[in-house]
Amino acid sequence: MVGGRDQPRDVREASPKGSVPRAGVSSYGAPRNFGMSATIAVRLELRRGSTMNERTKEDLETTRVANAEKLQAELKRRSERDRAYLIVLAGNEVGKMYKVDNGETTLGRSHRADVRIDDDSISRLHAKVTLAGSNIVIEDLGSSNGTLVNGERVARGVLKDGDKIRLGETTILKFTFHDRLDESFVQKMYDAALRDPLTKVYNKKFLLDHLSQEVSYAKRHQSKLTLIMFDLDHFKRVNDTYGHVAGDQVLIQTSARVSALLRGEDVFARYGGEEFCIVLRGTSLENAGGLAERIRATIEEHVYCSASVELRATASLGVAEYDGDGDVAALIEWADSALYAAKSAGRNRVLLKQRT
């Protein structure tokens, strides 16, 4: 002790390993003057840092300007309302968009029509929309119930943005121009309302609406209508054993493989969970049973892959034919009872039921 104070120590030797030396103490034990030199050093570092920040800022600002120009050009390109569309406002498939391409677009209920509308009051080839110079023209093709634009019957007329086109008794289309952003947004909204977000097949709401239309059609025309209902056997075990990610992959891959077996006019929908339905217009019970067996075999033979996991699955299927009586609920109940019978009989099989 000197004058009641500890003498400075050599921090390199006396400081414990890992400790931080005290500021203002020299390595030889004498206090060091950090005053002016330290201040100059700090100022130099600050100036250097400031210069680097300014350069970085300039670089960022230059980048932002360049990106902004590109973004504005892209937004301008996408905002050009140069795409003609017909959008369903009333009737079947409300919200669906049909693009009017260059050339000729026919409208009607026939499979030969470019825009096929399932409505008995619409003629097979009802009207056509053509590009005539800078105008888009609609022309009636001698339809039974006529073509109305904004409430007035027309044989031929130029369409304007926002025009309402009535075909038959219940179908109303809106003619409009969209830019790329509108097109993308409307299509996404339409898909979100009608499609199952996981499997991308139709959802239950669309299924029930469509099935109601098909039942009405089958009654009026006394035509064939069948419904296949199936689900994946012991699906809960897949989720419990391999996890829900693997379970989702089984549903996605099943939907893709089944979709590949169907016709364009067949409607494939997720009814709920691991249960699916297929609506088959103009198809007999026997032919629907043959399709159901192909679906069963396809699912059984497929190796499902999810990450590093490979697994297999089977399905049970019930098939029912509409008998010209009853409603949608009755047809679903009959197909569901056939599915339940297939499961009770041992699963991984197809069972057909016809009302007597």
Alpha carbon 300 to chain centroid distance?
27
C-alpha span between 337 and 318 (Å, rounded): 7
Instruction: Provide the β-strand partners of residue 309.
Output: 306
The side-by-side arrangement of strands in the sheet containing 171-178 is 97-99, 83-90, 171-178, 164-167, 147-149, 152-153
C-alpha span between 241 and 79 (Å, rounded): 49
Give 322: exposed, middle or buried? Use CB within 10 Å, 0-12, 13-18, 19+. buried
DSSP calls for 172-202: EEEEEEE-HHHHHHHHHHHHHHHB-TTT-SB
Whether 338 contacts 229, CB under 8 Å: yes
Residue 274 annotated in active site = yes
C-alpha span between 116 and 110 (Å, rounded): 6
Residue 103 Rama label (left phi>0; alpha psi -120 to 50; beta): left
Q: Which residue type does 9 have? A: R
Whether 315 contacts 230, CB under 8 Å: yes
Catalytic residue (choose from 74, 274, 301, 321): 274
Q: Which residue type does 31 have? A: P
Which contiguous run of DSSP H or E holds residue 38?
Answer: helix 35-78
Indicate the SS3 state at residue 245.
Answer: helix
Catalytic residues: 274
